[in-house]
Structure 1
Amino acid sequence: MTIRLSALLLLLYALGFVLFGVSLDKPAGAERTDAIVVLTGGKGRLERGMAVLKQGRAKRLLVAGADPSVTRADLARRLGPGTLSTLRCCVDLGSESVDTRSNAEEARRWMRRRGYTSLRLVTSDWHMRRAAYEFHQDLPDARIVIDAVETHPSLFTLFAEYNKYLLRRAALWLDI
């Protein structure tokens, strides 16, 4: 009985991993939101958020989890000419958060200060499921548009992220 139960749990775990890997989120369409929240730590995230902001799909952008030493001028050098004015007018650098969970908390405080009720969440496709879960937990009344940056994650990256996602869900379920 124990062996069968263990085998069933292992099979469910493996099938869940396969489903996780083949159902990564995609970029969002042209839907407007009050805000854009970009989670730091991955290639193409900031560029995607800035492109959406420049297209007028949101009023303001928060870069959640930015290193406190990073300035708008640093980002302008990275993003190229013509971005400094947009960075100055419409981008906030949040340096309060250090992980996905605190990114959601930082975004919640920022959105409440500004009176926003909807956001476009920008992060890597492999990171989106856990990030969206955290944001839905912290901002249950907000309308969240998922806008994943497409990547080609390694098997190791997917495996690590799948386990983080499962552990976070279990921690919330067990109220830890």
Structure 2
Amino acid sequence: MIKRALSAMVLIWALGFLWFVVALPQPADDLETDAVVVPTGGEGRIAQGLAVLDAGLASKLLVSGVDREVKPGEFAAQFDVDQSLLDCCITLGFAAVDTRSNASEIAQWAEDNDVSSLRLVTTDWHMRRAAGELSRTLPENVTVIRDAVPSEPSFSALFLEYHKLLASWTSGLIGL
């Protein structure tokens, strides 16, 4: 009996991992939202967030989890952002250090800025966990569009992220 239960659990785990790898989230269509939010950490995320802003698909951008040592001028120079755009439309968030605190920082910023719809831009392999954490912190009336940045993650990165996703789901189920 125990052997069958363990075999079933291993099979469910393996099928879940296969789904996780094969069905990575995709980029979003050109849908307008109040804001675009980008947790730092993966290549192409900030560039995609800026592209959404430049295309007029959102009027505000939050970059969450920026290193405390980064100055706004350095950010502007690195990503070729005009100072007037930085001043009016881009917020650099320095409070977050991980995916869960990104979600808290984003939720607070959305509330402070009366955001009712936002586009979450993050790497394809990170999207499910980031969106899950965000859904636990945002009010139900905030619509989230998932906009995944395509990547070519290694097997080990996928393996690690799948287990982080499982841990995130488990902690959400038990209310941690």
The alignment of Structure 1 onto Structure 2 pairs a total of residues equal to 175
Q: Return structure 1 stretches of 4+ with deviation > 2 angstroms.
A: 82-85
Residue in 1 aligned with 2:148? Answer: 148
**1:113 Cα deviation from its structure 2 partner:** 0.9
- Asked if the contact 1:125/1:151 (under 8 Å) is kept, the reply is yes
RMSD, matched Cα = 1.1
- Asked if the contact 1:72/1:88 (under 8 Å) is kept, the reply is no
Runs of 5+ in structure 1 lacking a partner?
none
SS at the partner of 1:126? coil
Q: 1:99-149 CA distances to partner (integer Å, 9 max, x unpaired)?
A: 111111111111111111110001100000000111111113210000111
**1:83 Cα deviation from its structure 2 partner:** 3.3
Runs of 5+ in structure 2 lacking a partner?
none
For 1:39 and 1:158, the matched residues in 2 are separated by 18
SS at the partner of 2:30? coil
For 1:17 and 1:84, the matched residues in 2 are separated by 44
For 1:114 and 1:77, the matched residues in 2 are separated by 26
For 2:146 and 2:124, the matched residues in 1 are separated by 10
Residue in 2 aligned with 1:10? Answer: 10
**1:22 Cα deviation from its structure 2 partner:** 0.7
**Aligned letter for 1:121?**
L
Query: Percent identity between the aligned chains?
Result: 44
Q: TM-score, normalised on structure 2?
A: 0.96
For 1:3 and 1:43, the matched residues in 2 are separated by 43
Residue in 2 aligned with 1:72? Answer: 72
SS at the partner of 1:92? strand
SS at the partner of 1:56? coil
1:113 maps onto 2:108 in alignment: no
For 1:102 and 1:129, the matched residues in 2 are separated by 15
- Asked if the contact 1:38/1:63 (under 8 Å) is kept, the reply is yes
**Aligned letter for 2:128?**
R
Q: TM-score, normalised on structure 1?
A: 0.96
**Aligned letter for 1:150?**
P
